[in-house]
């Protein structure tokens, strides 16, 4: 015993003197209680010599323990008051593990001695030895006790927040010291095993040479002076707490504490003792060191209005009552986490930021109210978590590691992924209408959803089981999966097509929303109502059909399995089978407002719905023939075992009899509804009802196809059209846009010819002007003008007006047309515009001979009326011409060639098709014209005549883009021969600056002698028909106005406008140009 007492004196000297002599870091009035069987005067003396107040009490109660800092427990079988003392942060030093750690009925450390070597089952890790050999072992490791037996001790079930210090000595004086700390509870274990208890003590520091343990005395707030943190009179120690201190709050005096220490001061642990009142901590930010934290053991709630920062790992414990954080909280260190043990509520009102994460333990509620930004993720290990904002979980994942409840009170989006550990149950409760857009994953975990409101899942989820016990759950086949126990309301909102392969049970309802399709392939036994509101729904098997009634209130129910009970259709579509199948309904089929879609063929086959009974009240029976119906056919479309309730007149009126060619009728027998389909018209008869005679020719071609046995799908679709659709289709199939394009190309050539003739007319006006100048000089001389200078001036005018023999003249002129062709009984009209340019050179070879040539490029866009089509033509032209001219008359001629690249398209609207054409045209043209000038005072009057010929040859081609409805168009040639007679009037105005203006007007009559209407042969689906274009009146009146501005002898500008007016056609040309002499 003497040896043991001496050992204790040395151990306690090491442990308790680490802070230095009395009056240094530890106050001289520190109170230590010795209790238990082995109390000893030598230990008391050693402590008193070190400056401590020592109290001996064999069996202390709570009152006795309230005034001490540390208890030394020497062999006792337990004391509940000491248990409470430790739990409230008191220091405890003990000797015997087996006896001393069982305090009353509370086991702080469950210790045992086993008898073998090598096992390690310790929760406490020691990392150093006195001889620095670096043992990385726990109390459970094997030690050699001076040739004695090998042994180890196992410590487990350590309570939350316990700090343990342990030391033992070997024969040669070695010691092992280590620690385990969480939230400020402190205990010391001193082992007396061994033959000697010798320690090396540093004389200056009074500490163990190689390792030392600090037994920290906390700063206790009693608030006796004020509510100011920095006021030392408010604390149990002589100064206010500083960096690294352990802080306790006690009592109920000055419970609003202003933390006026520098912002960011780092502390160890802040604990509210069981006897503390309700505190509010305000002021500057409080930081907590790595492994530090906040504890509330009081029965009163505590509030932090000051910002909080965790510099590393940390903890928050709400053991006695709730903790509230109204300001910001920073989780500074990446990879670190703050562990929240919430036996009561822990509330965060401010934003939680930083790179760290949160870990939730305990059965209390963790409440997150702000849009947080922390990125380290969240672990929900136990209890409840409440989110009052969609961004409350920050940017990381939510990892659920234990059975827990997640409550969401928001209508915004929670974007975090949720990972649920194997075998774990996550209960999700919502108030509002939130959306979980993140992915939810678990391999063997379970979701229990019970919203008060509506929860929408929109992530790509994977979980084996889900239970819905309240509210509404919305998702699609990406977010709703696995086995679902549905005891409330599930909505599949399918934007795209999807399959639900899981099994659904329960008493809840299912609603199908969204335009996508939902195919259910699992084993479904849920008994609530299935409602189809939009999109497509199909049950893939009898097992997939639900255990309750089915209501079609929108969308389309398809397939061969309708309902194991009743099927009611009030809107939407019922479509039995898959191209001749039977939809089975075990109970009653009620058709009351829905569309009943049936497919039939010429062989007498059809879709069928079978039921026990049927009630047909209202709706639409719509029939689609899958081939050409050539004769009257009958089909039993609703078949029952116990009878049909329906009015035959009402059923007959429900038929969607819109086809022009087919007629539908229905009859009701005892058990069936029978449909009769009869062909009553032909395609040609539909075409004859059109105002366009071409439509009948196209219809006749389709009748030839039918008679030849064709059941091409597009022809079948035309058989189902009403009169307006069928007539429009027959009109749009004909190649109106090609015929109109040929007319536009002809108009292009006429514009090029007009531009060529305009070049010659300018030179003819130059020759005419020279002649008038000569005549004026001669008249002046004949009048007796004798002034030689005047005569010389007049002669110079004559020389200036002489035509530019041998000089090249360059012309550039725009080619801009727009016009409209009216519709007639043959074809739809069109509007068009053309834009281009004409370039050329010409030369007056002699006084009477002008030759020239040029090229043009023109782009025309055509827009057919009545949706008859559009086209674009790009044409390149080359031309040459000659003119024999005198001062009074001229004869002209020219040749031209053009090549057009044409792109056409025309719709077949009722089928949703567009036929495209791509072909070339060759244009050959020539003209001959002449005119004579008459002088009328200063005006020139020129009667003129013109004859132009144009031959257009269009290549044949086959359309693309419309499938079987593409027509093959034969090559086509058209001719135009147009005589023109007219009158041009012009006059020249000279200005003193040498410039000259010559305005002009013209009027002409044009007559078409050849093709005024374009005819095209076409073939579609093997049948040939001929189509004629618009029949344009042969006579056209042309009105023109324009003028030349001669800037000087080399440079002339000109502009003109011409209107071509016809009963069926009008065209307008607006052009400008330039002439340059070299």
Taking residue 787's Cβ as centre, other Cβ atoms within 10 Å add up to: 9
In 452-503, alpha helices (H): none
**Half-sphere exposure (CA, 13 Å, Cβ side) for 596?**
28
DSSP class of residue 690? S
Q: What share of the chain is helix, strand, coil (3-state, %, to 5)?
A: 15, 45, 40
Mean pLDDT of the chain: 83
Span 631-636, average pLDDT: 96
Residue 162 binned pLDDT confidence (cut-offs 50, 70, 90): very low
- DSSP per residue, 186-240: EEEEE---SS-----B-TTT-SBSS-----PPPEEE--SS-SBTT-GGGBSSSS-
- 419, two tokens: 């990972």
User: Rg of the chain over CA atoms, in angstroms?
Assistant: 53
Other CB atoms within 10 Å distance of the CB of residue 586: 16
Model confidence at 131, pLDDT cuts 50, 70, 90, reads very low
Task: Give the rounded distance of the alpha carbon of 462 from its chain centre.
Answer: 21
Decide: helix, strand or coil at residue 328. coil
pLDDT digits (tens, 9 = 90+) for 480-499: 999 999 999 999 999 999 99
Burial 726-741, CB ≥16 within 10 A → b, else e: bbbbbbbbbbbbbbbb
Pick left, alpha or beta for residue 43 (phi over 0 → left; psi -120 to 50 → alpha; otherwise beta).
alpha
Structure tokens at 1019: 């073939």
Instruction: At 746, list the tokens.
Output: 């002809």
3 state DSSP class of 249: strand
744 has a pLDDT exceeding 80: yes
Beta-strand ranges (E) seen in 756-888 are 808-821, 830-844, 849-864, 870-885
pLDDT tens string 306-332: 999 999 999 999 999 999 999 999 999
Beta-strand relationship, 70-74 and 31-36: parallel
The band of 794, judged by pLDDT with boundaries at 50, 70 and 90, is: low
Alpha carbon distance 53, 988 (integer Å)? 133
More confident residue, 683 or 149: 683
Percent over 70 (pLDDT), the chain:
79
Residues constituting the chain: 1078
**Hey, what are 384's tokens?**
């409840």
Nearest CA to 198 among 206, 188, 208? 208
789 CA to centre of own chain: 91
Q: 645 or 705: whose pLDDT is higher?
A: 645
Q: Which SS3 state, helix, strand or coil, does residue 501 take?
A: coil
Whose CA is closest to 615, among 637, 657, 643?
A: 643
* Residue pair 1004/1038 in contact by the 8 Å Cβ criterion: yes
Q: Give the pLDDT band (50/70/90) at residue 295.
A: very high
* In contact, 272 and 257? CB cutoff 8 Å: no
pLDDT of the residue at 15: 40
Can you list the pairs that 400-406 forms with residues at least 24 positions away whose Cβ atoms lie under 8 Å?
400/424, 400/426, 400/445, 404/360, 404/380, 405/429, 406/380
Task: Determine the pLDDT at residue 666.
Answer: 94
Cβ atoms of 91 and 70 closer than 8 Å: yes
| Tokens found for residue 995 | 């410039």
Calpha distance 151→713 (Å, rounded): 92
> 345: closest CA among 372, 327, 371, 369?
369
Indicate if the pLDDT at residue 72 is higher than 80: no
3-state secondary structure of 58: coil
Within 819-879, residue ranges assigned H as helices are none
Task: Show the tokens assigned to 1042.
Answer: 């324009």
If pLDDT is split at 50, 70 and 90, which confidence band does 89 have?
Answer: low
CA dist 614 and 637 (Å) reads 12
Phi, psi of 180 (to 5 degrees): -140, 120
Q: Encoding tokens for residue 926?
A: 């020539």
Contact predicate 465/483, CB 8 Å = yes
């Amino acid at each position: 015993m003497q040896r043991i007492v001496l050992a204790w004196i040395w151990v306690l000297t090491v442990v308790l003197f680490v802070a230095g002599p009395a009056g240094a870091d530890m106050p001289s009035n520190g109170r230590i209680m010795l209790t238990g069987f082995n109390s000893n005067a030598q230990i008391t003396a050693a402590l008193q010599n070190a400056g401590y107040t020592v109290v001996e009490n064999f069996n202390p109660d709570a009152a006795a323990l309230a005034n001490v800092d540390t208890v030394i427990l020497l062999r006792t079988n337990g004391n509940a008051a000491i248990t409470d003392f430790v739990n409230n942060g008191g220091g405890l030093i003990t000797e015997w593990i087996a006896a001393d750690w069982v305090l009353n009925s509370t086991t702080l450390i469950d210790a045992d001695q086993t008898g073998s070597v090598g096992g390690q089952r310790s929760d406490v890790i020691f990392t150093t030895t006195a001889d620095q050999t670096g043992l990385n072992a726990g109390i459970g490791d094997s030690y050699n006790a001076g040739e004695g037996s090998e042994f180890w001790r196992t410590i487990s079930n350590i309570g939350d927040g316990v700090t343990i210090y342990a030391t033992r000595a070997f024969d040669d004086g070695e010691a092992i010291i280590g620690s385990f700390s969480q939230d400020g509870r402190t205990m010391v274990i001193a082992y007396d095993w061994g033959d000697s208890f010798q320690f090396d003590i540093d004389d200056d520091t009074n500490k163990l040479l190689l390792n030392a343990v600090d037994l920290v005395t906390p700063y206790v707030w009693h608030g006796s002076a004020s509510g100011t943190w920095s006021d030392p009179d408010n604390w149990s120690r002589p100064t206010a707490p500083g960096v690294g201190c352990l802080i306790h709050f006690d009592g109920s005096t000055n419970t609003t504490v202003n933390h006026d220490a520098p912002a960011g001061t780092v502390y160890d642990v802040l604990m509210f003792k069981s006897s503390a009142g309700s505190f509010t901590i305000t002021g500057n930010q409080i930081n907590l060191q790595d492994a530090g934290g906040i504890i509330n053991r009081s029965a009163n709630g505590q509030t932090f209005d000051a910002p909080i920062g965790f510099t590393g790992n940390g903890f928050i414990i709400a053991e006695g009552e709730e903790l509230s954080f109204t300001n910001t909280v920073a989780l500074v260190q990446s990879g670190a986490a703050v562990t929240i043990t919430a036996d009561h509520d822990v509330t965060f009102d401010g934003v939680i930021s930083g790179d760290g994460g949160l870990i939730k333990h305990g059965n209390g509620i963790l409440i997150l109210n702000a849009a947080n930004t922390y990125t380290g993720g969240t672990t929900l290990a136990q209890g409840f978590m409440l989110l009052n904002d969609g961004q409350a979980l920050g940017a990381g994942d939510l990892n659920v590691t234990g059975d827990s409840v997640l409550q969401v009170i928001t209508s915004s989006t929670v974007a975090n992924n949720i990972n649920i550990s194997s075998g774990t149950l996550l209960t999700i409760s919502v108030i509002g209408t939130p959306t979980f857009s993140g992915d939810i994953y678990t391999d063997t975990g379970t979701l229990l959803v019970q919203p008060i409101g509506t929860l929408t899942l929109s992530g790509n989820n994977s979980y084996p089981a889900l239970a819905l016990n309240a509210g509404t759950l919305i998702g699609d086949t990406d977010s709703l999966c696995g086995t679902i126990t549905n005891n409330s309301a599930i909505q599949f909102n399918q934007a795209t097509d999807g399959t639900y392969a899981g099994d659904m049970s329960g008493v809840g309802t299912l609603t199908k929303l969204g335009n996508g399709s939902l195919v259910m392939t699992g084993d479904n036994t849920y008994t609530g109502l299935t409602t189809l509101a939009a999109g497509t729904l199909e049950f893939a098997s009898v097992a997939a059909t639900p255990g309750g009634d089915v209501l079609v209130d929108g969308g389309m129910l398809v397939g061969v399995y309708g309902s194991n009970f009743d099927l009611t259709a009030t809107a939407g579509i019922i479509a039995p089978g898959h191209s001749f199948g039977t939809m089975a309904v075990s109970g009653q089929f009620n058709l009351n407002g829905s569309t009943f879609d049936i497919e039939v063929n010429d062989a007498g086959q059809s879709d069928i719905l079978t039921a026990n009974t049927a009630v047909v009240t209202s709706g639409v029976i719509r029939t689609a023939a899958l081939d050409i119906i050539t004769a009257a056919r009958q089909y039993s479309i609703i078949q029952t075992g116990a009878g049909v309730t329906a009015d035959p007149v009402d059923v007959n009126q429900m038929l969607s009899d819109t086809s022009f060619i087919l007629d539908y009728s229905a009859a009701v027998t005892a058990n069936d509804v029978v449909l009769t389909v009869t062909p009553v018209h032909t395609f040609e008869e539909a075409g004859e009802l059109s105002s366009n005679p071409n439509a009948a020719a196209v219809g006749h071609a389709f009748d030839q196809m039918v008679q030849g046995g064709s059941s091409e799908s597009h022809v079948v679709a035309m058989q189902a059209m009403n009169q307006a659709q069928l007539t429009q289709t027959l009109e749009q199939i004909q190649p109106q846009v090609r015929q109109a394009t040929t007319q536009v190309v002809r108009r292009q050539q006429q514009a090029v010819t007009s531009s060529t003739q305009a070049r010659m007319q300018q030179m003819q006006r130059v020759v005419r002007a020279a002649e008038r100048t000569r005549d004026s000089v001669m008249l002046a001389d004949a009048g007796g003008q004798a002034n030689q200078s005047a005569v010389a001036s007049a002669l110079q005018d004559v020389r200036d007006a002489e035509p530019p023999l041998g000089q090249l003249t360059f012309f550039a002129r725009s080619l801009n047309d727009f016009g409209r062709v009216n519709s007639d009984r043959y074809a739809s009209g069109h509007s068009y515009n053309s834009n281009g340019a004409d370039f050329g050179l010409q030369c007056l070879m002699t006084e009477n001979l002008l030759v020239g040539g040029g090229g043009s490029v023109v782009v025309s866009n055509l827009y057919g009326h009545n949706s008859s089509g559009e086209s674009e033509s790009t044409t390149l032209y080359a031309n040459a011409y000659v003119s024999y001219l005198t001062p009074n008359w001229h004869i002209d001629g020219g040749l031209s060639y053009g090549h057009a690249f044409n792109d056409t398209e025309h719709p077949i609207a009722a089928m949703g098709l567009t036929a495209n054409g791509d072909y070339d045209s060759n244009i050959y043209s020539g003209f001959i014209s002449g005119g004579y000038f008459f002088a009328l005072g200063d005006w020139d009057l020129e009667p003129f005549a013109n004859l132009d010929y144009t031959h257009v040859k269009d290549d044949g081609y086959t359309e693309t883009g419309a499938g079987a409805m593409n027509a093959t168009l034969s090559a086509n040639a058209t001719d135009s021969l147009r005589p023109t007679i007219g009158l041009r009037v012009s006059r020249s105005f000279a200005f003193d600056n040498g410039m000259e203006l010559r305005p002009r007007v013209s009027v002409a009559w044009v007559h078409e002698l050849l093709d005024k209407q374009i005819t095209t042969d076409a073939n579609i689906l093997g049948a040939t028909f001929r189509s004629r274009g618009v029949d344009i009146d042969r006579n056209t009146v042309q009105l023109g106005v324009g003028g030349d501005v001669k800037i000087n002898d080399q440079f002339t500008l000109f502009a003109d406008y011409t209107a071509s007016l016809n009963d069926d056609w009008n065209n307008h040309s607006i052009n400008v140009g330039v002439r340059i002499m070299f």
